[in-house]
Amino acid sequence: MHIVCCIKQVPDTAQVKIDPETNTLIRYGVESICNPYDLVAAEASVQLAEKYGGKVTVITMGPPQAESALRDCLALGAREAILLSDRAFAGADTLATSYCLSSAISKISSAEPVDLVLCGKQAIDGDTAQTGPGVATRLGYNQLTYVSRIENVDVGEGIIVVTREVEGGAQVVESQLPALLTIELQYARPRYASLPELVRALRQEILVWGAADIGAQPFRLGLKGSPTMVKEIFAPKVHRGGLVFDSAGGQAVEDFLDKLFEKEQALFNAE
Ligand SMILES: Cc1cc2nc3c(=O)[nH]c(=O)nc-3n(C[C@H](O)[C@H](O)[C@H](O)COP(=O)(O)OP(=O)(O)OC[C@H]3O[C@@H](n4cnc5c(N)ncnc54)[C@H](O)[C@@H]3O)c2cc1C
C-alpha cells in the first residue's frame, strides 16, 4: 500500500501577527513546527504501513525551511519526503495549494500508484480545513473527513472502513480506494522517534520539486491562481474573564452564593 501524507509547517504560536498591508501571517521571527494534526496523520500513515505493508511518502508545499517538518515525519517512519518549493507557489490560497498538491500526488502516483492520501483535519494557522477536500476533488478520490479511527483496509478488494466524527456522534463509512482521509487529533499520539530513525531522518535526501517538475499550469499557482481576497484579518477581542472567588479565606462558597443571590435579586427588581 502506498500512502501519501500531506503536512504543513506552521508558526509555533497562538499569537499570530498579521501584515496589515497584505493581510497575510507574519512568519518572520516565529519558530515553526509541523502542524500538530499532520504529525498525527503521519503517525496514522506509518501505523497503516506497519499493519498492512507498504510505504509512506510525506509531502509539503512551502519555503525551503519546511524541510524540517518533513524530517520530523521521516523520523516517525515515513520512507520518502518531497518538498514542493518554488517562488511561483508563493501567496497560494487553499485553491492554489490544493491544485499544487494534487498535481504532485498525480506525479507520485504515476510512478507508484497511491492508495491513500492522509491530511490533518486542519492547519492550526489557516484553520480552513479546505485543503484536504480540495486535493481529493482534484484527484477524483473519495474523501473521508474527520476520521478518528480506521477500522479496516482490504488492499486486495480496494476497500477502507473508517469511523468519522460527526455532530452528535460517530459514523462508520466504507469507501473504495484510492481515498483521501483527514485525520482528527484523537486518532493517535505520535510516537517518540528512536535514535536510529532520527539519524536516518537527518541524513535522508529530500526531493525538491518546482512548478515545472509537477507539470503545473503557471496561472493556477500561487497568487495568480488564488481568487481569495482577504478583506481584513484580526484577532478576536479578549473579553474580561469571569469572577474569581478565592478560597484562601474559606469564604469562596459564601461569596459565590452572595453574588448569585445579588444577581437574582437585580433581575427580580428589573421585572
Ligand atoms: C490570498 C492568500 C494568500 C496567501 N499567501 C500565503 C503565503 O504567501 N504563504 C503561506 O504560507 N500561506 C499563504 N496563505 C495561506 C494559505 O492559503 C493556506 O495556508 C493554505 O492554503 C492551507 O490552508 P489552511 O492553512 O487553512 O490549511 P487547512 O486546509 O486547514 O489544512 C488541512 C490539511 O491540509 C494539508 N495542507 C495544508 N496546507 C498544506 C501545504 N502547504 N502542504 C502540504 N499539506 C498541506 C495538511 O494535511 C493540513 O492538515 C494565503 C492565503 C490567502 C487567502
Residues 213 and 83 placed together within one structural domain of the fold: yes
Tell whether 85 and 170 lie within a shared domain: yes
The list of the chain residues with pLDDT below 70 reads: 14-16, 27
State whether 198 and 248 are in the same domain. Answer: no
Q: Give the pLDDT score at 93.
A: 94
Range of the domain at 245: 239-271
CA dist., res. 103 & res. 220, Å (int):
11
Q: Nearest residue CA, atom 43 of ligand 1?
A: 60
Question: What is the pLDDT at residue 17?
Answer: 72
- DSSP characters over 93-118: -HHHHHHHHHHHHHHHHHHS---EEE
Residue 194: give its domain's CATH number.
Answer: 3.40.50.620
CA of 96 to the centre of ligand 1 (A): 9
Tell me the CA–centroid distance for residue 266 and ligand 1, in Å: 50
Does one domain contain both 151 and 114? yes
Instruction: Decide if 230 is inside a domain.
Output: no
Distance 226 CA to ligand 1 centre (A): 11
What pLDDT shows up at residue 12? 84
Instruction: Please indicate, yes or no, whether residues 68 and 107 belong to a single structural domain of this protein.
Output: yes
Structure-derived torsion over alpha carbons of residues 81, 122, 107, 205, reported in degrees to the nearest 10: -10
Is 201 domain-assigned? yes
- Decide if 141 is inside a domain: yes
Helices (H), the chain: 36-52, 67-76, 94-111, 131-139, 195-203, 252-270
Do 74 and 186 lie in one domain? The reply is: yes
Residue at 215 is within a domain: yes
- Per the CB < 8 A criterion, the answer to whether 10 and 32 are in contact is yes
CA 131 to ligand 1: nearest atom: 29
Residue 119: what pLDDT?
Answer: 98
Residues 247 and 210 in one domain: no
In a domain, residue 234? The reply is no
Instruction: Note the pTM of the prediction, 2 decimals.
Output: 0.86
Whose Cα sits closest to atom 17 in ligand 1?
Answer: 93
* 227, part of any domain: no
* Residue with CA at minimum distance from ligand 1 atom 2: 93
What pLDDT digit, counting tens, does each position of 62-78 carry? 999 999 999 999 999 99
pLDDT at 210: 97
pLDDT score recorded for residue 192: 95
On whether residue 233 sits in a domain, the answer given is: no
Distance of CA 147 from the midpoint of ligand 1 (Å): 20
- 162 with 127, same domain? yes
How confident is the model at residue 173, as a pLDDT? 97
C-alpha cell belonging to residue 114: 497511491
Long-range contacts of 213-219, Cβ-Cβ distance < 8 Å, separation of 24 or more: 213/107, 214/84, 214/100, 214/103, 214/104, 214/106, 214/107, 215/103, 215/107, 216/88, 216/99, 216/100, 216/103, 218/88
What burial letters (b/e) apply to 210-231, b meaning 16+ CB within 10 Å? ebeebebeeebbbeebbeeeee
Domain shared by 149 and 57, yes or no:
yes
In the chain, the number of structural domains is 2
Q: What is the Cα–Cα distance from 38 to 59, expressed in whole angstroms?
A: 11
Residues 252 and 161 in one domain: no
pLDDT of the residue at 164: 97
Shared-domain flag, residues 156 and 204: yes
Supply the pLDDT for residue 260: 92
What confidence score (pLDDT) does residue 109 get? 97
Ligand 1 site residues (CB inside 6 A) read 6-8, 24, 35, 37-38, 41, 60-62, 90-94, 97, 101, 119-120, 122-123, 125-132, 226, 228, 230
Cβ atoms of residues 223 and 92 within 8 Å: yes
Vertex 53 angle, CA 47 and 55, to 5°: 75
Per-residue pLDDT at 143: 97
Q: Which atom of ligand 1 is nearest to the CA of 27?
A: 11
Q: Whose CA is nearest to atom 13 of ligand 1?
A: 91
Residue 226 lies in a domain: no
Residues 189, 106 share a domain: yes
Say whether 255 sits in a helix, a strand or coil: helix
- Pocket test residue of 17, 34, 93 for ligand 1, highest count of atoms within 8 A of CB: 93
Atom of ligand 1 at shortest range from CA of 126: 25
Nearest residue to 39 (alpha-carbon basis) of 88, 91, 77, 3: 77
